[in-house]
């Protein structure tokens, strides 16, 4: 299979992160320095990727840089006092690298063996063996099990819309954590992370069930079209009226949010960006806004945001900071 430009860019950036961690975590041998120089010369994309990472560290706001300096100073003091065992540098570098990769590429580390998955910024549609269609949103993973008695989807993380084919003999169920949604001939959206999620019914009817906290019985609720129900690991919420135009706007490449704090908007947008946007001002975070964002052109929205509100957009490599 031929690599796409996006794949090559991701690979160059991941390797650049590895090199930066390796070069800043301790003494560098002549062989390592030579290998690094050869890697940079091998491809212009390598040089660009490393410059982006190096610029990122230089441009980080002072609080983040101060925290990094404190961590490095603490490590040096422990090493000088003999607390650290031999080989600490390699272990520390590996830990820093894992943290760096988790920050830039969390989707690469999540559910690598799932039946179907999308990475950050990707969306895809899958037709199952029974004719049902599953639309996967950004950073989503599912497992699929279809047999003679049941059609069962496990939403491991992320968000998916289900357009269920009618089959009276085989119930269609979506498990997300401890909550299970059973379709009664329908189209619905389920969103889930480790802390909980929500079910939004676009058409038809669904029944949501979950073992009660006491474990002696099962809690359940039935949704009608146009309703949404949030859930946590141990509790079902109550059905609420949903804004259907916003609930599945991502299927049309849009994000629509009305009268919500900017911090909530940024958290949603960050689901679609590998380099996260960070707010540097608490008052700014609480400011209510209305947005309509093209998922494929988030930078244009950031430019418009800077032009219409008293907000400064600071770009630092793959990271973006917002301040008043």
Per-residue pLDDT band at 85 (split at 50, 70, 90): very low
pLDDT of 322 above 70:
yes
In a domain, 111, yes or no: no
d(CA 48, CA 45): 5
Question: What pLDDT sits at residue 41?
Answer: 92
Rounded mean pLDDT, 125-150: 96
d(CA 42, CA 197): 45
Q: Look at residues 220, 242, 264 and tell me which one is the last residue of a structural domain.
A: 242
Contact 145, 114 (CB under 8 A): no
Are 10 and 94 part of one and the same domain? yes
Question: What pLDDT sits at residue 320?
Answer: 86
pLDDT of 65 above 50:
no
Per-residue pLDDT band at 19 (split at 50, 70, 90): confident
Are 220 and 315 part of one and the same domain? no
In a domain, 124, yes or no: yes
Q: Look at residues 191, 223, 242 and tell me which one is the last residue of a structural domain.
A: 242
Question: What pLDDT sits at residue 214?
Answer: 62
Question: What pLDDT sits at residue 7?
Answer: 58
Q: What is the pLDDT of residues 186-226, one digit of tens each?
A: 999 999 998 899 999 999 999 999 987 665 568 899 999 99
pLDDT of 64 above 50:
no
d(CA 314, CA 265): 17
Residue numbers of the domain that contains 290: 253-323
d(CA 255, CA 99): 29
Question: What pLDDT sits at residue 93?
Answer: 44
Q: Is residue 232 classed as helix, strand or coil in its secondary structure? A: strand
What element of type H or E holds 248? none
d(CA 147, CA 200): 26
Rounded mean pLDDT, 16-27: 72
User: How many structural domains is the chain composed of?
Assistant: 3
Rounded mean pLDDT, 23-51: 84
d(CA 129, CA 55): 48
d(CA 172, CA 185): 9
Question: What pLDDT sits at residue 323?
Answer: 86
Q: What is the pLDDT of residues 250-265, one digit of tens each?
A: 999 999 999 999 999 9
pTM attached to this predicted model: 0.70
Bridge partners of 191, per DSSP, are: 159, 198
pLDDT of 105 above 70:
no
In a domain, 162, yes or no: yes
Residue written as token pair 């802390």: 195
Question: What pLDDT sits at residue 280?
Answer: 86
Q: Look at residues 62, 77, 104 and tell me which one is the last residue of a structural domain.
A: 104
Are 208 and 257 part of one and the same domain? no
* Phi and psi, residue 184, nearest 5°: -115, 50
What element of type H or E holds 282? helix 282-285
In a domain, 248, yes or no: no
d(CA 82, CA 70): 19
In a domain, 203, yes or no: yes
Supply the CATH number for residue 189's domain. Answer: 2.60.120.1440
pLDDT of 83 above 80:
no
Are 214 and 272 part of one and the same domain? no
Beta strands in 141-186 (DSSP E): 141-146, 151-163, 172-176, 179-183
In a domain, 194, yes or no: yes
d(CA 136, CA 162): 9
Rounded mean pLDDT, 116-142: 95
Rounded mean pLDDT, 4-20: 69
pLDDT of 30 above 70:
yes
Contact 320, 275 (CB under 8 A): yes
Task: List the structure tokens of 174.
Answer: 């979506």
pLDDT of 50 above 70:
yes
């Amino acid at each position: 299979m031929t690599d796409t430009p996006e794949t090559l860019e991701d690979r160059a950036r991941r390797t650049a992160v590895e090199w930066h961690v390796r070069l800043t975590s301790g003494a560098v041998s002549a062989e390592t320095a030579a290998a690094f120089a050869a890697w940079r010369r091998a491809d212009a994309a390598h040089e660009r990727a490393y410059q982006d990472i190096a610029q990122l560290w230089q441009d980080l706001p002072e609080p983040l840089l101060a925290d990094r300096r404190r961590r490095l100073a603490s490590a040096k003091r422990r090493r000088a006092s003999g607390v650290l065992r031999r080989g600490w540098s390699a272990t520390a570098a590996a830990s820093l690298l894992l943290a760096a990769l988790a920050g830039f590429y969390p989707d690469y580390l999540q559910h690598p063996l799932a039946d179907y998955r999308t990475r950050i910024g990707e969306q895809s549609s899958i037709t199952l063996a029974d004719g049902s269609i599953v639309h996967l949103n950004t950073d989503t993973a599912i497992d699929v099990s279809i047999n003679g008695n049941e059609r069962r989807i496990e939403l491991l993380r992320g968000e998916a819309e289900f357009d269920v084919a009618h089959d009276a003999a085989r119930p269609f169920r979506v498990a997300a954590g401890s909550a299970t949604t059973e379709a009664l001939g329908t189209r619905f959206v389920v969103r889930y992370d480790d802390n909980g999620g929500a079910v939004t019914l676009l058409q038809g009817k669904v029944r949501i069930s979950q073992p009660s906290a006491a474990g002696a019985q099962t809690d359940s609720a039935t949704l009608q079209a146009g309703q949404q129900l949030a859930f946590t690991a141990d509790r079902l919420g109550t059905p609420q009226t949903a804004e259907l135009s916003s609930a599945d706007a991502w299927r049309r490449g849009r994000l629509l949010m009305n009268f919500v704090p900017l911090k909530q908007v940024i958290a949603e947008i960050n689901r679609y960006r590998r380099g996260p946007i960070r707010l540097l001002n608490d008052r700014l975070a609480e400011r209510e806004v209305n947005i309509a964002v093209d998922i494929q052109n988030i930078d244009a929205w950031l430019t418009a945001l800077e032009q219409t509100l008293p907000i400064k957009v600071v770009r630092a490599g793959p990271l973006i900071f917002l301040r008043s």
